[in-house]
Amino acid sequence: MSGSYTYKVEGFDRLDRQLARIAKPSTEAKRAALKAGAEIVADEMRRLAPVRSGTLRDSINVRVIGMGAAAKQVDVRGTTVLIGPRQGGKKDPFYAHMVEFGTVRAAAHPFMRPAWDAKRDDAEKVVASSLTDAMLKDLHRGT
């Protein structure tokens, strides 16, 4: 039963391309996934924010910024998501940090950190799920 056998296997080049893409979701997919996760935390911040006029609660937003813009604000090496009261403009709740941490004359009413603590795991799951879905969609597209 000695003899030689020859097998021809095709399709590895396509598989190699697909596997390379699995590790590299598009920038759009990353930004969308991060924003989806951040919105969960932002919703909780809005829910927990103390309301007098509603300006603070209504100012809470999510911004996804790239490396260039982020470097001006924080030391990062990739995409950054900012969650919290917007800064600047007519309805800038300049007092947000005073509400969160308190002052000499006013007690703290934390809403940002408790929102992060409560929804962090949910946000991480949404980001992971969104990225997985995006990568699988690319993989099934076969490009």
For the stretch 21-34, pLDDT in tens is 665 677 788 888 98
The answer to whether residue 82 is domain-embedded is: yes
pLDDT at 51 over 70: yes
pLDDT at 73 over 60: no
**Using CA atoms, how far apart are residues 114 and 107, in angstroms rounded to an integer?**
16
Cα-based angle 76, 78, 84 (whole degrees, multiple of 5)? 70
| Residue 32, number of CB atoms within 10 A of its CB | 17
Domain count, the chain: 1
The answer to whether residue 100 is domain-embedded is: yes
Give the least confident one: 14-18, 22-26, 79-83, 84-88: 22-26
In 81-141, where does DSSP find H-type helix?
96-101, 112-141
Structural domain boundaries enclosing 42: 27-141
The answer to whether residue 20 is domain-embedded is: no
Instruction: Give yes or no for a contact between 95 and 88, defined as CB atoms under 8 angstroms apart.
Output: no
AA letter at 82: L
pLDDT for res 80 = 80
pLDDT at 123 over 50: yes
Mean per-residue pLDDT for 59-88? Answer: 71
The answer to whether residue 128 is domain-embedded is: yes
DSSP letter, residue 102: -
pLDDT at 18 over 50: yes
The answer to whether residue 84 is domain-embedded is: yes
pLDDT for res 14 = 74
**Using CA atoms, how far apart are residues 64 and 62, in angstroms rounded to an integer?**
7
pLDDT for res 71 = 46
Average pLDDT over all residues of the chain: 81
User: CB-hemisphere CA count at 13 Å for 133?
Assistant: 11
The answer to whether residue 86 is domain-embedded is: yes
**Using CA atoms, how far apart are residues 81 and 66, in angstroms rounded to an integer?**
9
CA-based nearest residue to 93, from 118, 47, 61, 64: 61
pLDDT for res 134 = 83
Mean per-residue pLDDT for 15-42? Answer: 80
The answer to whether residue 9 is domain-embedded is: no
The answer to whether residue 107 is domain-embedded is: yes
